[in-house]
């Protein structure tokens, strides 16, 4: 079972490495969206500092959403998914491995690059740690919940917009907790409660989402 996990994570990372531009596009999208906000709302440092946690989190949400389509699509197209459904490894474990690989490719780079955006928005440097930590705890939840939507919309026409409609409302708690943690720290309070709740959300999502993804995959590839 662990061998299957290792195999799938390794394979997905290898595929991502072979198509580096896909990974770079999602990351670039994150940076561009975050850069659009000052152009839209004005460059007053006070205002930017106030909206920074929310903007960075919304940009992360959208960027993660953008790359969700890739999660199962190519596997579905070339028949690999069918082999995974037929194989001996439990489908839930495979789904968890796919979500983990998606996070490593689409979520982890956001964690790494977010302090750069925070710098642009003039956030004090002692908040970078909280921001990165909140993203590190929150983005895996996005990958897991998004995986359910990606599996449900597999092979449907207009799947991309539909996926956004299905998944974005479910992302709301993660957005509130993630941006809230940074906001609390910015206000000089301890962000521990939000971070713990994000961690709890991650544990719950990691426990249940893979099985929902598995059920959705079975339905989609009937």
Q: Which is nearer to another protein, 115 or 146 (CB)?
A: 146
Are 157 and 71 contacting, i.e. CB atoms less than 8 angstroms apart? no
Output DSSP code: residue 127: G
CA proximity to 12, closest of 147, 110, 142, 171: 147
- Give min distance, CB of 176 to another protein, in A: 4
| Token pair for 40 | 């839209």
Q: Which is nearer to another protein, 53 or 115 (CB)?
A: 53
- Give min distance, CB of 113 to another protein, in A: 25
- Give min distance, CB of 182 to another protein, in A: 12
- Give CA 173 to chain center in angstroms: 13
Contacts with another protein by CB under 8 A lie at 145, 148, 152-153, 156-159, 162, 165-166, 168-170, 172-173, 176-177, 180, 183-184, 201, 208, 212, 215-216, 219-220, 222
Q: Which is nearer to another protein, 54 or 109 (CB)?
A: 54
- Ramachandran sector of residue 87 (left: φ over 0; alpha: ψ -120 to 50; beta: rest): beta
Q: Which is nearer to another protein, 113 or 201 (CB)?
A: 201
User: Cα–Cα distance between 73 and 153 in angstroms, integer?
Assistant: 10
């Amino acid at each position: 079972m662990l061998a299957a996990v290792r195999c799938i994570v390794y394979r997905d990372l290898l595929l991502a490495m072979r198509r580096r531009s896909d990974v770079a596009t999602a990351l670039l999208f994150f940076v561009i969206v975050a850069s659009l906000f000052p152009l839209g709302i004005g460059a007053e440092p006070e205002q930017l500092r106030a909206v920074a946690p929310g903007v960075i989190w919304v940009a992360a949400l959208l960027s993660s959403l953008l790359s969700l389509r890739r999660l199962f699509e190519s596997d579905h197209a070339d028949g690999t998914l069918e082999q995974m459904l037929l194989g001996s490894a439990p489908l839930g474990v495979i789904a968890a491995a796919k979500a983990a690989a998606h996070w490593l490719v689409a979520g982890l780079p956001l964690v790494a690059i977010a302090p750069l955006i925070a710098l642009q928005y003039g956030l004090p440097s002692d908040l970078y740690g909280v921001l990165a930590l909140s993203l590190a705890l929150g983005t895996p939840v996005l990958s897991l919940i998004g995986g359910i939507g990606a599996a449900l919309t597999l092979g449907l026409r207009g799947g991309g917009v539909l996926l956004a409609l299905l998944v974005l409302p479910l992302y709301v708690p993660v957005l509130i907790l993630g941006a809230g943690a940074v906001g609390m720290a910015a206000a000089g309070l301890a962000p521990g409660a939000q971070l713990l709740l994000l961690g709890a959300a991650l544990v719950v999502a990691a426990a249940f989402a893979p099985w929902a993804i598995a059920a959705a995959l079975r339905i989609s590839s009937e």
